Every structure is written in structure tokens, then in C-alpha cells.
Amino acid sequence: MPEQVDVAIVGGGFSGLAAAAWLRRLDPAKTVAVFEAQSIGSGASGRTGGMVLAETAAGDLPGLGDVLAGFSSTLSALAIDCDLQLPGAWEIGRSDPLPNSPIAWQDSGDLRATAEIPGGTIDPGKLVSGLARSADHLGAVIVENAAVEKIHFSDGLRLRVREREVRASHVLLATNAFSLEMSGLAKRTEPKLTLVVATKPLDHAQLEVLGLASGRSFYTIDLPYLWGRVHSRSVIFGGGIIEVKNWRDLETIDISTGKAAEIIANVERRVRGLHHALRSVGFSHWWGGPVLFGHNWDGHPVFETHPTLANTIVLGAYSGHGVALSVYLGCWAAEATLGRKALPSWSDRP
């Protein structure tokens, strides 16, 4: 573990690892260290369904730029192969369907495609490991099982890690739904656990009749919420959320018991009721992933300076749109740390 670095990054997910690799690529003279409380990708990045979307949950924000183009460019620059496919995505809903909607499901009404938007899918494991390998290859230090217990500003930034002190000139806090007191987001955001199921493999005829043979991912624009994508002939469906009062509760939820098990059983029933092709479908995997929303649910990601710590940027709260966006903003945060790019105008909101 280093005693002093130019940039300390807290959080070893998509945002933090992308920022580390990009910093070293842009300025190899800067020393960079990533501190991850558990193992890389142990938060949302390792438990996402891998659906790639073009914008934030609030849509296209002023000055955001082309997220998908930036994401693709970063993968190319860092030589990361994560099975990126961009056939598009379906927005689906219970009103105003497209005339020739390939999706015709039943879920609290007729569920149809309402629009086709830019998007696609990636393999999350390949992305998180690819970013880590790239950061490591470029000279960033990645320290796992190294929870940052405290950060204070006294003659520079000082991080308390494993009962040791690490000094840094700049800090990036990229812990998303975790360590909300440290990031200053405890009273401004809402952490939740989204629950996901994966079907056993379907044949091509089943995918065809479901309207999913094209490989397009999908998500609802109304409630009850449902999202998903095809992966190796299985279909991943996400549709249940567990409310938590404290982000620490995310780490203690057992999805095989209690409320979580009830919600997963409900998701399974919903999936089997979507279409006759799914009536007797089996399920192979069940899991949960942490997500972070702003209190006002406006879908704006957090990308701003820390309220009390100098030279510190806070990044997170992607509201379920974080796969491409987290990498894109992680690289932007790296450039902002180096003084090569300003923070976005929408980050100055109260």
C-alpha cells in the first residue's frame, strides 16, 4: 500500500477503475491508487445485468455529450473486449405502442414496445476485469480488502486505510450506494437493492415469438417496472426493489429468505405470465445489486465536488443507467482531476 499518491480513488467498480486507467493513460507521471473495500466489482458493477443505455435516467443533460460513443472509444483506447453489442434497446410501456411492436406481453395490461433507442449490452465481468487489467498495466495500484475508514483535510488530504494513513493530492469518491456519509450523500440519495432472475436457456423460436431474437435489451417507461436482456439464450429480468433505511443494510440482505425471497418469487410469477412461451420456463440464477437514486428521483447522476473536502470529486447515483455512463463519467472525472475538463453544468444543482 502506498503512503502517498497524487490521486486516491475510493471504489473499485466501473467508475473508479475507468478513472484510474484514464488518469495513467493521460498522465503517466501521476501516481494513482484505487482502494476497494472488498474485491473489484463487488458492488453494482459486478451485479449489473449488463444493459447499456445512451443517456442518464433523466435523459440527455446539458453538456453530457455522446455517452455511447465515449464509452466505445474508451473501450477501444484501453483495448477492452467486453462483448459490447449495440443493436439498440426497446422502451416498452402500456400505452402508445409502436404499430408493429415485436413485443406483445401481458403485465398489468398490454405491454408493447413504444420506441427504439440507442443501446445494447456488455458482459459485466469482462468489463470490470478488463478495466482493472488496463489500470494495472498502465501503472495504477489497486488495493483490495482496503476499506477507507475516514478522509480528512489537514495539510492535504489524508485517508485512513487499514489503520494506516495515505496522503493524496486529489481524491475521487466512486462508491455509489456505499459509504454515503463519507461521500456526503447520506441525506441526498436513496440506496436500494434491485433483484434479478435469469431464465434457463430458451430456443430461437421462443426468443423469436417473445420479440427478443434481435438481441435488443428492454425496459419499461411506466410502472410496474421491468427491464431485461438476452444473454447466452437466457433472458435476464429485473423487476423487484428492496427498500433499505441505511446503505449498510445492503450488505446483510439474504435474498433467499424473507422479503427478498417474496419479491423474487413475484418476479418469477410476472415473467411466467408475460407470454405463453414463458409459462413453464425454469430459472437458473437469482441475485441482487445495489443501486443509488437521488431523493427527488430526477435521474440526475451525482458528479460534483465534495461539500467539505478540497480537491475531491464525488461520482455516483446513476439510477439504474450506470453501465456505460459510469465508465464515461469516470474518464471525465480523470480529466477534471487533471484540470483538462470542467465538471458538467448540471452538477451545480442544489
Distances (CA, A) of 167 to 4, 8, 30, 312: 5, 8, 14, 13
Alpha-carbon distance of 324 to 330, in angstroms, equals 10
Residue 348 has pLDDT above 70, yes or no: no
For residue 237 the three cell numbers come to: 429480468
Reported pTM: 0.96
pLDDT at 350: 45
Residue pLDDT, tens place only, 148-170: 999 999 889 999 999 999 999 99
Please, which residues bridge with residue 305 across strands? 313
188-198 tens-digit pLDDT: 899 999 999 99
DSSP string, 104-171: EEESSSEEEEEEEESEEE--HHHHHHHHHHHHHHTT-EEESS--EEEEEESSSEEEEETTEEEEEEEE
- Determine the Cα–Cα distance for residues 110 and 160; give it in Å rounded to an integer: 54
pLDDT band at 48 (very low <50, low <70, confident <90, very high): very high
Q: What integer is the mean pLDDT of 323-347?
A: 95
Give tens-digit pLDDT for 254-292.
999 999 999 999 999 999 999 999 999 999 999 999 999
Domains of the chain in start order, with CATH, are 1-85+122-187+296-350 (3.50.50.60), 93-116+189-294 (3.30.9.10)
Residue 294 confidence (pLDDT): 83
Long-range own/partner contacts, residues 268-271 (CB < 8 A, 24 or more apart): 268/197, 270/107, 270/224, 270/226, 270/237, 270/239, 271/197, 271/199, 271/237
CB-CB contact of 334 with 23 (8 Å): yes
Question: Which letter does DSSP use for residue 347 in this model?
Answer: G
Rg of the chain over CA atoms, in angstroms?
Answer: 20
DSSP 249: G
pLDDT of amino acid 206: 97
pLDDT at 109 over 90: yes
Whether the bond between 97 and the residue before it is cis, its omega within 30 degrees of 0, is: no
